[in-house]
Amino acid sequence: MHSRPRPEISSASLHILAMAFMLCDHLWGTIVPGNDWLTCIGRLAFPIFAFLLVEGYFHTSDLKGYARRLFLFAILSELPFNLAMGSSLFYPIHQNVLWTFLMALGFLHWNERARKSGKLWKRIAVGILSVLLGYLAGLLTMADFYQAGILTVLVFYFFRGTTWWQRAGQLLCLWYLNVEMLSGFAYELQLFGETFFLTRQGLALLALVPIWLYRGRQGHHSKEFRYFCYAFYPAHLLLLGLLKVL
């Protein structure tokens, strides 16, 4: 008797899912406001992208090239982001999410260098400092998702793996970052005569379902697909921004 194969999802499929979720959220934020179901779905995008950044860090053979691509597309995305989110070419109070990921990538590398040093005290010190400095960097630069954005990436780094305690760490930390730190709008629910509040941002925890179905399989991979994933971000923002202001 053959055992039934466990369900799994590839890295390529995770990228496509995250882009679809992000598009839903940005549609809600630009040309179809008021459709809350779109932004509820959109909450799942960022944790998946954060998880993929960590996986990308460990699988890339050219870290400098990885960082250069993030930097290049962060620059290319800034005006489309400003147009879509601020209805202006100049929007200094909010920066696009690729800056968040670029800063987070630096903190990942710093922690990895400390880990490879073999010194426990150094790993602990760098880990604590990266959390504190990551918090400040996200807050002061006003990059998308602010301090919680960089910390989410660090969560997937510190708890990278599939053991029960690593997944419990991911769940608890994402709960704190999304429900306590980001908080925001909450839906009032009546259940068994009691009133409960479900924070919209808390729906981001559902992203752990597809993330936990990933078992290391890359899936479709090509240079064209990789650049499509990068270009999708500024391209869809530019289109939505133009539709919003016209």
Please give the helix or strand (H or E) that residue 115 lies within, else none. helix 97-116
SS3 for 5?
coil
Q: How far apart are CA 157 and CA 151, in angstroms?
A: 10
Distance in angstroms (rounded) separating the CA atoms of residues 95 and 229: 19
Identify which has the larger pLDDT, 3 or 169: 169
If you average pLDDT over residues 169-197, what whole number do you get? 87
158-166 long-range Cβ contacts below 8 angstroms, 24+ apart: 158/127, 160/54, 160/58, 162/212, 162/215
Q: What is the mean pLDDT of residues 37-56?
A: 97
pLDDT at position 5, please? 66
Count helices and strands (H / E) in the chain. 10, 2
The residue among 204, 209, 146 whose CA lies nearest residue 175 is: 204
Terminus-to-terminus CA distance in the chain, angstroms? 62
The mean predicted confidence, pLDDT, of the chain is 93
Phi, psi values for residue 187, rounded to 5°: -95, 135
Per-residue pLDDT band for 22 (boundaries 50, 70, 90) equals: very high
